[in-house]
Amino acid sequence: MATVMVNRPVVAAPSQSGGTVTGTGTLLRFMLRRDRIRFPAWTLGLGLLMGYFATALETFVESPADLEGLTAFSGSPAGALFGGPGFGFDDLTIERFLAGQYGLYVAIGAGLMGLLTVVRHTRAEERSGRAELIRANVVGRHAQLTAALVLVATMATVVAILIGGLMASRGYDLGGSLLFGASVGAVALVFAGVAAVTVQLSEYPRAASSTAGALLGAAFVLRGLGDMAAVQGSGASWLSWLSPVGWSQQTAPYVHDRWWPLAISLAVAVIAAAGGYALATRRDFGAGLVPPRPGPARAVAWLDGPLALAFRLHRASLIGWSVGLLAAGLAYGSFTEPLLDGFTDAPEDMVAIMGGAENLLDGYLGTMGLTMALAVGVYAVLAMQTLRAEETEGRAESVLATSVSRSAWIGSHLAVTAVGVPWLLLVAGAGMGVGAAVSTGDAGSFGGLLLGHVAHTPAVWLLLAAAAVLYAVAPRVLPLIWVVLGYGLIVGYFAPILEIPASAVWLSPFAHVGEHPLEEVSVVAVLVLTVLAAVTAQVARLVFRRDVVGRT
Amino acid sequence: MTTAIDIHHIDKHFGRIKALDGLDLQVETGTVHGFLGPNGAGKSTTIRILLGLLRADRGRVRLLGGDPWADAVRLHRRLAYVPGDVELWPNLTGGEAIDLFARLRGGTDPVRRDELCQRFDLDPRKKGRTYSKGNRQKVALIAALASDVDLLLLDEPTAGLDPLMEAVFQECIREACAAGRTVLLSSHILAQVEVLADQISIIRQGQIVETGSLTDLRHLTRTSVDAIVDQSAAALATLAGVHGLQDTDGHVRFEVDSDHLAVVIRRLGELGVRGLTVRPPTLEQLLLRHYGDEPARHGAVA
């Protein structure tokens, strides 16, 4: 396809670089035009998130004693798991805490920005057929990928400068601030490179972004386990060095201020992108690397109604999530024993402050239950987004033209997802339980872990039902549901640290069931949330009376 | 005869754009009704209202004796729909999609399904994403034609089919008609409608501008006459119903309203005709008159 330029009678000759990137500049301008909302939303959003953390923390920390209190949590293994290796936490300052504890979440956001942007402008375009129109013009084979990568590099630079500038403007050390900003931007670059590879593998944009997203999740888990070991001073702390997020955290802004770990990030980003280019030349336009095989000529007997269809459509994603959550559960669970070991070595009065080793373990296991619930929340929201795709891509129309009512259509997708929620929590809980049992040699916590995970089901159901209402009102407002999930995450992890008032905590659906085994499961909350979810789902079915084609 | 589709004066807005503007449409049971119009005239909107996928802002719609919005599920058991742009699930095979649609509609005849797959030359083992547009269209057509339904709603069903498959399609529609089914066939391909339709309605900017049989519609139109005559044809120009007369050295070309054809031909005969070509109006000309620069508006006949 790169040969389209051969007979071009225009004086402005194509670039000398072989022409595979011809048109990159034009495409980049076009992408900037398409992303005129997304670009500032991602970059400013990440900047504002960091600004919020900084403001909230500065408001909260009024005396050195307050900082001491922070160390107690963040210096603990559980704090390391959800924060970082805690560089300089023995002599804590606000900026060290911001970079060491909250930097992780901004970095994860940057990673998502990188991978989603690349998928959106490469495989998603190819899948939709729009890329074919583009490539029929004077556009090189690699122009789209190149332009997308340049776009992400620009976004990453803007994020780095915004965050660095923001931190420096608060009076923190300039060098450290710039390094911190750059470490966040580096994660975006690495995962843009990762996405450059994953978009070559499958024909589906969703498969590309979920593969890259799973790797981002793995990076989060690996560095968590490594950091936990590092904080305890024993175990596999080298795990952090396997994670792109870990490289960014190892820069230790405001403490060691080392730039060299970012060289690893940059090198990996470049190598991954090169791999993407290499794979791209080995496949056909529009195709993945695996050629399609013929399938069954007839549908299996059970595929005979809207519910069966919904299950068939969600099946692949359910299998993927089950495998992912099982692996994550096993990994986190297997760290129970090192966690306990680390604590027996700790000074006795410190253990006492934390409420004893027993409570610390329960706190860790309870937090993991919440974490898995939030992850399953992501599954539920993504499942609702497939409904949106069914509608906008015209398949809902064909189904609704048969004897399937609107209410049955949305209801069956809701039902399949609603059953998927406790199933996934069960799988995650079982993974944690087995991991913990193998690690400690004691299966006593297994039942409690299962309960602690599955108990979050009604909270996720409520989230799912709320997403369904948003979708039923208008598909384009569905993404608003991420706000609820993000709010649940911030409240769940940071309410004690950020001193979020109880009334605001109360608003999160995830704040009521209780983080078993640390807390008791509130039966009342379970019942109330279940009823609320059922009522909300019913509202969604009733609201879903609008036109189903021709709207967005 | 009963009426399978009875649309009375419906309006439909999308935001500020008026897609349908007082549209009327009647389709008799057991007939093939051609629904003709250019892109964006409102054909698909009308069909989606008939399916209860969209709700009309105003007016009355009856489909197989029911209300398509309120009784959608009951009515959909008795009809099959083929959209103009068929979208399939990328990871389901064509065969799975055919079976699924048939089952969602309430059963199908497996023998007929296989026979149709053969006639349309479709490999049902391919995944939805690997089909070309024409093949996706075939999947939806086979699913619809294999169903035992009373009404077929076909929205530009042969877009993307090659001429050979188009012939198979026409055969299948004739069979459906012989089996007593009602067919609403929307198209902008005039030849297809001309061949199949008993009745034709022409839609433009959300309104039906013509409706009737092909013969009825031809009454409203002009016949093109091309003749070589011995005498001056100036006298013809003064006759009622003659338009655009050109006379170059005995080669006369003009159009004549069908109502005045008899008188004009008689006068033409008196001029010493040595060569004569008379062409009936094609549907292209019908459309040209409606969508061309002439502002002429005709009342419905039927």
Q: Is the pLDDT of residue A8 over 50?
A: no
pLDDT for A67:
78
Same domain, A345 and A254: no
Q: Do B104 and A298 touch (CB under 8 A)?
A: no
Domain with CATH 3.40.50.300 in chain B: 3-213
Same domain, A62 and A24: yes
Same domain, A115 and A136: yes
Measure CB to CB from residue B53 to each of A294, A403, A548 and give the nearest one.
A548
Same domain, A276 and A316: no
Q: Do A400 and B83 touch (CB under 8 A)?
A: no
Q: Is the pLDDT of residue A141 over 80?
A: yes
Nearest CA to A282 out of A403, A161, A171, A197 is that of: A197
Structural domain total, chain A: 2
Class of domain B222-280: alpha beta
Cβ-Cβ contacts under 8 Å, A404 against chain B: 73, 76, 104
As given in the structure block, the two tokens for residue A499 are 């001193």
Q: Is the pLDDT of residue B179 over 80?
A: yes
Q: Give me the phi and psi of A84, to 5 degrees please.
A: 170, -175
Same domain, A219 and A347: no
Cβ-Cβ contacts under 8 Å, B72 against chain A: 400, 405-406
Residue A159 placed within a domain: yes
For A499, the 3-state DSSP assignment is: coil
Q: Do A401 and B123 touch (CB under 8 A)?
A: no
pLDDT for B297:
42
For B27, the 3-state DSSP assignment is: strand
Residue A295 placed within a domain: no
Cβ-Cβ contacts under 8 Å, A284 against chain B: none
Measure CB to CB from residue B100 to each of A292, A303, A394 and give the nearest one.
A303
**pLDDT-derived band of residue B234, with 50, 70 and 90 as boundaries?**
confident
Distance from CA of B246 to the nearest CA of A (A): 45
Q: Do B54 and A305 touch (CB under 8 A)?
A: no
Task: Specify the amino acid at residue B297.
Answer: R
Class of domain B3-213: alpha beta
Distance from CA of A127 to the nearest CA of B (A): 9
pLDDT for A434:
92
Residue A4 placed within a domain: no
Out of A290, A325, A354, a domain closes at A290
Task: Please list the alpha-helical segments (H only) found in B130-277.
Answer: 133-145, 163-178, 190-196, 214-219, 234-237, 261-269
Give tens-digit pLDDT for A309-349.
999 999 989 999 999 999 999 988 887 877 777 666 555 55
Same domain, A256 and A377: no
User: In angstroms, rounded to a whole number, what is the distance separating the alpha carbons of residues A270 and A263?
Assistant: 10
Measure CB to CB from residue A547 to each of B53, B76, B91 and give the nearest one.
B53
pLDDT for A5:
41
Same domain, A276 and A306: no
- pTM for the structure as a whole: 0.78
Give tens-digit pLDDT for A44-75.
999 999 998 898 888 877 777 777 777 766 77
Give tens-digit pLDDT for A69-100.
777 667 777 778 888 888 888 888 889 999 99
Q: Do A394 and B126 touch (CB under 8 A)?
A: no
Least-confidence region, from A226-235, A377-386, A537-546, B119-128: A226-235
**pLDDT-derived band of residue B123, with 50, 70 and 90 as boundaries?**
very high
Domain with CATH 3.30.70.260 in chain B: 222-280
Q: Is the pLDDT of residue A134 over 60?
A: yes
Out of A270, A290, A310, a domain closes at A290
Find the closest chain B residue to A399 by CA distance.
B101
Residue B147 makes CB contacts below 8 A (sequence gap 6+) with B80, B101, B102, B105, B107, B108
B20, B43, B44, B53: best to mutate for the A interface, most A CBs within 10 A: B53
Q: Do B126 and A549 touch (CB under 8 A)?
A: no
Q: Do B96 and A303 touch (CB under 8 A)?
A: yes
Distance from CA of B63 to the nearest CA of A (A): 13
Measure CB to CB from residue A299 to each of B81, B96, B153 and give the nearest one.
B96
Report, in angstroms and rounded to the nearest whole number, the Rg of chain A calculated over CA atoms. Answer: 25
Same domain, A78 and A204: yes
Residue B201 makes CB contacts below 8 A (sequence gap 6+) with B25, B33, B34, B35, B36, B208, B210, B211
Measure CB to CB from residue A394 to each of B87, B104, B126 and give the nearest one.
B87
Task: Specify the amino acid at residue B43.
Answer: K
Nearest CA to A306 out of B93, B142, B147, B106 is that of: B106
Q: Do B104 and A292 touch (CB under 8 A)?
A: no
**pLDDT-derived band of residue B291, with 50, 70 and 90 as boundaries?**
low
Distance from CA of B127 to the nearest CA of A (A): 7
Q: Is the pLDDT of residue A399 over 70?
A: yes
Q: Is the pLDDT of residue B296 over 60?
A: no
Q: Is the pLDDT of residue B300 over 70?
A: no
Q: What is the largest CA-CA distance in chain A?
A: 82
pLDDT for A345:
59
Find the closest chain B residue to A303 by CA distance.
B100
Residue A12 placed within a domain: no
Same domain, A169 and A278: yes
A390: domain range? 302-552
User: In angstroms, rounded to a whole number, what is the distance separating the alpha carbons of residues A123 and A145?
Assistant: 9
Interface size between A and B, measured as CB pairs under 8 A: 115
pLDDT for A331:
85
Residue carrying structure tokens 């080669």: B251
Give tens-digit pLDDT for A477-507.
998 999 999 899 888 887 777 778 888 889 9
Strands B199-204, B207-212: pairing kind: antiparallel
Same domain, A419 and A465: yes
Report, in angstroms and rounded to the nearest whole number, the Rg of chain B calculated over CA atoms. Answer: 23
Q: Using an 8 Å Cβ cutoff, are A229 and A334 in contact?
A: no
Out of A290, A319, A340, a domain closes at A290
**The B242-248 sheet, strands edge to edge:** B242-248, B251-257, B222-229, B273-279
Prediction ipTM score = 0.78
Question: CA quadruple B213, B216, B218, B220: dihedral positive or negative?
Answer: negative
Q: Do A550 and B45 touch (CB under 8 A)?
A: yes
Average pLDDT over residues B119-141: 92
Residue A297 placed within a domain: no
Report DSSP letters for B51-113, one per residue: TTSS--SEEEEEETTB-TTTTHHHHHTTEEEE-SS----TTSBHHHHHHHHHHHHT---HHHH
Same domain, A278 and A315: no
Same domain, A398 and A462: yes
